[in-house]
Amino acid sequence: MTWNGARRLAPALLLLFLAGLPGRAQTPPAGGKAPAGNAPLGEFKAAVLGTLRPGEPFVVAAAGKGVPQGASGFARMRAVLIKGGKELNRAFFFNLGELTDRGPAFAALMAVPTTAGAGAAVLRLETAGRVLRTLDITIGDRQFLTETISLTGEMSDILSKPDPEKTRQAEAMWAIWVTTGETVYAPGNFIMPVNSTVQTSRFGGRRVYQYPDGRTSASIHAGVDWRAPTGTPLSAPAPGRVVLARPRIVTGNTVVIEHMPGVYSLYYHMDKIAAAEGDIVQAGTPLGTAGATGFATGAHLHWEIRVAAENTDPEAFLGKKVLDKEEILRILNE
């Protein structure tokens, strides 16, 4: 296993201000902001908060004219991340339940895919077939590790053998990831879900699987693997609602928690599950114990976070607020 400089940059705050309809926003200086201009209160304004690097979550916030006022089912606004003419991610806005000088505040939680290259990109804000705004942004560089994993015959079958039930489980999981609710259960920082200090496989790792017959296949590691002997207690890292708690063929005993609209944390290969679907949990609520069920080379916790269906670095949620309402309101009120 080699580490190809997966360095973590100090979180940066990118603010893009705009007013009026429609048009293209100016690109702000690195780490700075574009001038807000002299637009009267009540006009449309948007901002991007977060670190724009592969695997990192970020927030698009908006308020003012043109923002849909309806609840779920209404033609809601969405943000679409585009690079090189290709759509990389999209997310629906939800009502933050807060008022700004321009009206209700809305936000969309998104992530930069781990496959996105560095360079210029665009965020398009749209609703009901109408483009409200396009924002010029820049995606930063990030390198990931490379690792090779040798598979046993049993592991090879789990990974590659066709199985209708495995397909059904994958489709059901995808249906969860692409669902954007309306409830913010966890507005604050996340905590570690397991008492471990050793990562056995890092986030975003480029994996090469070697099969017993000499074949190989490639994949990207969507979460972080933490060393945890069988029976190690696991707990929720933040408040949320349990939306899945059951065994699966590939991921073994699995728990999925909804924390914010479009934000889900996942726990794979568990030995035992202590949570039930529909449970409302708090940070520290027991979820079960670590194990080696499903496609696993040994006992550990695979901890994954999906934002708008994109795999996102769980460590980006530790020690900071991804959805900082106070900062969003401050920016939208300027």
CATH code of 238's domain: 2.70.70.10
| Residue 30 forms part of a structural domain | no
| pLDDT greater at residue 7 or residue 282 | 282
- Report CA 30 to chain centroid distance, whole Å: 23
Task: Say whether pLDDT at 75 is over 90.
Answer: no
CB 272 within 8 A of CB 253: yes
Give CA–CA dist 1/72, Å, rounded.
Answer: 46
- Domain containing residue 238: 146-317
The mean pLDDT of the chain is 86
| Residue 117 forms part of a structural domain | no
For the segment 283-305, the average pLDDT, to the nearest whole number, is 97
* DSSP letters for 25-82: PPPPPTTSB---TTPPTTS-EEEEEE--STT-EEEEEEESTT-----TTS---EEEEE
Q: What angle do CA 87, 92, 95 make, to 5 degrees?
A: 155
CB 230 within 8 A of CB 252: no
Q: What is the pLDDT of residue 19?
A: 27
Place 293 in a pLDDT band, splitting at 50, 70 and 90: very high
| Residue 136 forms part of a structural domain | no
Give CA–CA dist 308/98, Å, rounded.
Answer: 22
pTM of the complete model:
0.86
Query: Number of structural domains, the chain?
Result: 1
Give CA–CA dist 76/251, Å, rounded.
Answer: 34
Q: What is the pLDDT of residue 22?
A: 31
| Residue 101 forms part of a structural domain | no
pLDDT (tens digit, 9 = 90+) per residue, 186-224?
A: 988 999 999 999 999 999 999 999 999 999 999 999 999
Task: Say whether pLDDT at 30 is over 50.
Answer: no
| Residue 48 forms part of a structural domain | no
